[in-house]
Amino acid sequence: MQRLNELKCIHSLTPLLSMRLPETPSLLCGDRLASETLAVLLRYPDGSEVEHPDGVTGLEVAKSIGPRLAEAAVAVKLNGQLLDLDRPLTEGGDFAVITLKDPEGLHILRHSSAHVLAQAVLAEFPGSTFAIGPPIEDGFYYDFGVDTPFSPEDLERIEERMHRIIEEDQPFQRVVLGRDEALEVFADHKYKVEIIESVDPSEVSGDEIVTAYKNNGFIDLCRGPHLPSTGRIPAVKLLRSSGAYWRGDENRDQLQRIYGTAWPSRAELDEYLNRLEEAEKRDHRRLGPELDLFSFPSPVGSGLAVWHPKGGMLRKLVEDRSRAMHEKYGFEFVFTPHLMKADLWRTSGHLDYYAENMYPRMVMDNDVEYQVKPMNCPGHILIYQSRTRSYRDLPLRFSELGTVYRYEKSGVVHGLLRARGFTQDDSHTFCTEDQLGDELRHQLRFVLEWQAAFGFDRSMISAELSTRPEKSVGEARQWEIAEHLLAEALDAEGVDYVVSPGEGAFYGPKIDIHVKDAIGRRWQMGTVQLDFNNPELFGLEYVSPGNVAQRPYMVHCAKAGSIERFIGILVEHYAGAFPAWLAPVQVTVAPVADRHIEYAVSVGAAFTGAGLRVEVDRSSETVGDKIRRAITQKHPVIVVVGDKDVEDGTVGLRLYGEDRDTRGVPLAEAVDRVVELAAEPA
């Protein structure tokens, strides 16, 4: 009966924007009504089960486990739901204490830091307003409505205020507001009002509840949880500011976004800042022009690169490797046009689901509409459909270095990493169900060999297996088979992976391959993806041994993905100092004086004759300047020739990264050494 009375204290509650967590009777009724006779049974991560009084807080449970754990705790997790430490627990289940060592703890730390950032900005800039401020990978941001953009001096001032708030150790307090009360509290902040009002009235009923957190008079909409207090933020730093449109809509207000980062210790913050500094040095948008590889001329347009001769050679080497490996793995080369009729994209579903990323239609040929392609898949499907296919033809593997065009908003365009026009190393395989397991492993092995060729060994590789989402096409049986076979392929190849339930595309499950670069950044490179949708949309068939029409399985696989993006990542991974086999210029020959040019040319010819890419520096600069330029251009080998070399038929040999050259190396020996150094991976 007492439990029934407690439940009667709960009003009819409806979540608003997922901001509301389940309420407890004690919070709503103002009394702790839990009886000592009632208990909650908590199951700890080690499998043990412990009974606690109903209404016990997460912090109290942590203290019962151990004082050191309680001291480190920032939140708890009950049945998968994160809760503040002071929230009473009124149900049992799986329980864990969250610390800053946990990914959820980092998320909470950065969420709390964003809250403090907003508090600092509104204090330092009276009349400003705030929008949203989520945690993101490695940090957080917050968007503000202010009269003028933030300057670097403004960021210093804001950060100083943040540190004062942290030093004051202000407690975070969770509060529950009715919808009307929330609108009144945030009446001066139009973006918060819009968030509160954005819930569809048809989706809510009763007293609508909004959760917020306050500290020292400041309040912000938030579903939580937060750290217990501001003083629990160990290390925080503001990084930069930029413009951002409200809700990402370029037709809405332009706000000012401040980015920051927060870490469990000052040492970890310093390590991260060092990584950022190193990343800036490696930025492909800077190194590309410096190394004369590519550039982004404004007359061409945003998100589109032009490739200079050295960059053209680098790209040729990558594409040649792609073609050679596709041939090795049994793919046939196809080519499809950049421009196709709009009706094709209507059949494929792109005009229904992808139109905002496609460029406008062009009307030609008596009002027939055409569009540039955002993907290569439909073209390959049409090739499959060009004649009747038998089971004897399968598996059928098509490959294309196909250039596609996708409209990306200017705010997200990022050099080669997020471009509007790029070339994909696309392949599509059509096979029977019996062939699917072998085919998936075949494709995965290809992706792994591709990564290894460019210096990403198994220790740098992990994978993510994304399974069926709530809304999907295809039969449940197809999904089950495909997901099982994808997992088997990963296991067979010994790849570490995590399963992301429900994160597959609506048309099929997939494996995404991730690599870590030289400074620890994680990049998604390589995909093996099932597609149950297009074979149905286009009515693909093959004739079975029993002379019955069957639907083939369709596998999409990209090894590099976008060639442009892949090269951008390589530039940053190697900081422009490519392995000798991949360097656009492998050897620079530097004559000491003009009288040595003739011999330098003959030396260059010897290296060129051995299949190496060579530059002879004929400039009138000093040999020191020539060497410095070659080092700056990150050429793998510098060959210096002077009087004694001319006389003895020798050279001075210096490899990139070494402080001095080896003098008096016989020319033939030098050529052999460089040929060995520049050998392409097997």
First CA to last CA across the chain, in angstroms?
Answer: 76
Give long-range contacts, CB 8 A cutoff, 24+ apart: 458-461. Answer: 458/494, 458/495, 460/515, 460/516, 460/517, 461/495, 461/496, 461/513, 461/514, 461/515
Q: Quick check: helix, strand or coil at residue 470?
A: coil
Instruction: Kindly state the greatest CA–CA separation across the chain.
Output: 107
Number of neighbours of residue 665 by Cβ within 10 angstroms:
17
Of 222, 377, 431, 557, the active-site residue reads 377
**Residue 7 and residue 27: Cα distance in Å, rounded?**
12
In 118-192, the DSSP E strands lie at 129-130, 135-136, 139-145, 173-178
Catalytic residue among 310, 441, 556, 634: 556
Residue tagged active-site, from 161, 174, 189, 428: 428
Is 424 annotated in the active site? yes
Residue 98, strand partner residues: 75
- Residue from 510, 514, 613, 654 carrying the catalytic annotation: 510
The answer to whether residue 240 is catalytic is no
Among 410, 430, 418, 245, CA closest to 332: 430
Closest by CA position to 90, among listed 48, 56, 43: 56
Q: What is the chain's percent helix, strand, coil content, to nearest 5?
A: 40, 30, 35
Indicate which residue of 54, 426, 512, 645 is catalytic: 426
- Separation of alpha carbons 260 and 113, rounded Å: 8
Q: Among this protein's residues, is 426 annotated catalytic? A: yes
| Tokens found for residue 346 | 């209507």
Residue 386 region by backbone torsions, left for phi larger than 0, else alpha for psi between -120 and 50, else beta? alpha
Q: Classify each residue of 29-46 as buried b or exposed e, where b means 16 or more C-beta atoms within 10 Å of its C-beta.
A: eeeebbeeeebbebbeee
Number of H helices, E strands in the chain: 22, 34
- 208 to each of 28, 197, 205, 410, how far by Cα in Å? 14, 11, 7, 38
Is residue 377 annotated as part of the catalytic site, yes or no? yes
Give, in order, the Cα–Cα distances in Å from 59 to each of 50, 82, 86, 263: 15, 13, 6, 22
* Dist. CA 447–CA 558, nearest whole Å: 8
Neighbour tally for 320: CB within 10 Å: 11
Residue numbers annotated as active site: 377, 406, 424, 426, 428, 510, 556
